[in-house]
Amino acid sequence: MLYYLAAAFWLALASVPAVTAIVSISSADAHTLGRRWLPSVDKIRGVNLGSLFIVEEWFADDEWASMGCKGYYDEWSCVEGLGQQAADAAFDKHWNRWITKDDISEIAHYGLNTIRVPVGFWIKEDLVYKSEHYPRGGLKYLDRLVGWAADAGLYIIIDLHAAPGSQTGNEEFTGHSVPKPGFFTLKNYERACEFLDWITERIHTNKAYRSVGMLEVMNEPIKHRVNATDSEDMVKNFYPAAWDRIRARESKLHVPKQDLLHIQFMGSNWGSGRAETYLNDTTFIYYDEHSYLTFDTRVNQTKDGYIEGACTLYNGESNAVVGEFSLSVAHAVQSNVEFGIKNNPSNAAWYKKYFSAQVSVYEKRGGGWVFWSWKCNWIGGFNDWRWCYKYAVEAGAIPRNASEASSESPC
| All residues at 6 or more sequence positions from 316 whose CB lies less than 8 Å from its CB, including other chains | 267, 269, 287, 289, 291, 322, 362, 365, 366
Residue 222 and residue 231 in contact, taking contact as beta carbons nearer than 8 Å: yes
Strands 114-120 and 368-371, sheet pairing: unpaired
Residues with Cβ within 8 Å of 74's Cβ and at least 6 positions away in sequence, in order, are 172, 174, 175, 176, 177
List 370's β-bridge partners, or say none.
Answer: 46
Burial class (CB within 10 angstroms; exposed 0-12, middle 13-18, buried 19+) of 246: buried
Cα dihedral angle (57, 58, 62, 63), rounded to 10 degrees?
-40
Q: Which one of the listed residues 172, 220, 250, 363 is annotated catalytic? A: 220
Task: Please say whether the beta carbons of 241 and 194 come within 8 A.
Answer: no
Percent of residues in the chain assigned helix, strand, coil, to nearest 5:
45, 15, 45
Q: How far apart are CA 299 and CA 290, in angstroms?
A: 16
Question: What 3-state DSSP class applies to 15?
Answer: coil
Active site residue 220: yes
Q: Which of 57, 63, 75, 324 is catalytic?
A: 324
Angle at 50 between CA 359 and CA 344, to 5 degrees: 60
Q: How far apart are CA 221 and CA 315, in angstroms?
A: 20
Residues acting as catalytic residues: 220, 324
